[in-house]
Structure 1
């Protein structure tokens, strides 16, 4: 059985994650688990908070994405603006890396697993006819908080993006 597993041609798994610890760590853990099952791994990452290749198996391939030197979130009006810039800036270099991987892999298949924050990866994968799987690294508390945020916004009690200098609006959320 062990010999059969080693001869199987697994697809190259290209994972991409947002640069935040709550996203990067679970993505790298998934990569390590897939690698243990025999999958070849490539990690596409922004230059902001990149993973350290020496902390991972030597046959992992690390693909730095050109993020146009996004050095800090603070220079953006909102977190949403930062995420939008990150996605816009990384898209072209991700496509270049995938094109290069396709050329070097020959007939070997590729699959992309992407962090839901890094939605550019899905767009590129679909455009290139590569299967793509979304990976949500959020906790069980995320979805109720997301619903509460929507409810607060619908009730008009949510601060507008970019208006961070306004006094904090006090509110209570019931039912969550």
Structure 2
């Protein structure tokens, strides 16, 4: 099961609130029936909205796996804080590269996975290459991520995992989630324009727009 949501940097606050509303509703549907979510009527008196209230009761675990760059980490951690306020136990899986400071988030559980030594490779790169970085993470993180997620699912005396939320650039993650039978949500931390470009790539290929010569002409 896969859902995709978009964060637009220029309207991050509004986009994030909409994303949170969808995520919490989705997790509410997945959570065991004996987990009682606090709800209240909305301002029109119809439907329900979720109260933002901290609780000692755990309503399940949510596992998040952000891409290790600031523009992707920030919205994912904002999401994690709001989900925690709804009573979910938060687990952050992250790469060795650009690891977030655990001391800044003592209320989260962190799990570090191997990333093929990307820190050393990045230090030797003359300039940033996002396409190479994403490809490298997908190639070198799949096995360690699978082992980590399987280990979390097998932990005894822990609440059930309600959902896995990963960055959209981790395209290997859906196969892993399916194999372990974990519902997955996807966070797209870029503009809506980039999402539309990805959607229409096949159209551009079919029209021959990418049939470039070896010289790039």
TM-score by length of 1: 0.73
CA distance in 2 between counterparts of 1:120 and 1:159 reads 28
> Is the CA contact (8 Å cut-off) linking 1:112 and 1:121 kept in structure 2?
no
Deviation of the 1:7 alpha carbon:
7.0
> Is the CA contact (8 Å cut-off) linking 1:152 and 1:158 kept in structure 2?
no
In structure 2, relative to structure 1, the CA distance for the partners of 1:149 and 1:75 (3 Å cut) is: farther
Deviation of the 1:142 alpha carbon:
2.8
TM-score by length of 2: 0.61
Aligned residues: 160
CA RMSD in angstroms, aligned pairs only: 3.2
Output one character per residue of 1:108-142: Cα deviation in whole Å (capped at 9) or x when no partner: 32121011011222221111111111111222443
In structure 2, relative to structure 1, the CA distance for the partners of 1:135 and 1:12 (3 Å cut) is: same
Are positions 1:101 and 2:145 aligned together? no
In structure 2, relative to structure 1, the CA distance for the partners of 1:22 and 1:13 (3 Å cut) is: same
Are positions 1:19 and 2:68 aligned together? yes
CA distance in 2 between counterparts of 1:27 and 1:120 reads 19
Quote the residue 2:94 is aligned against.
Answer: 45
Quote the residue 1:29 is aligned against.
Answer: 78
CA distance in 1 between counterparts of 2:108 and 2:64 reads 11
Quote the residue 1:66 is aligned against.
Answer: 114
CA distance in 1 between counterparts of 2:110 and 2:158 reads 21
> Is the CA contact (8 Å cut-off) linking 2:64 and 2:92 kept in structure 1?
yes
Are positions 1:113 and 2:165 aligned together? yes
Quote the residue 1:172 is aligned against.
Answer: none
Deviation of the 1:68 alpha carbon:
1.1
CA distance in 1 between counterparts of 2:63 and 2:139 reads 19
Deviation of the 1:156 alpha carbon:
3.4
Output one character per residue of 1:23-43: Cα deviation in whole Å (capped at 9) or x when no partner: 111111111110111110011
Give structure 1 stretches of 5+ with no counterpart.
170-176
Output one character per residue of 1:57-102: Cα deviation in whole Å (capped at 9) or x when no partner: x2311111100111218389x6434322201211111122222212
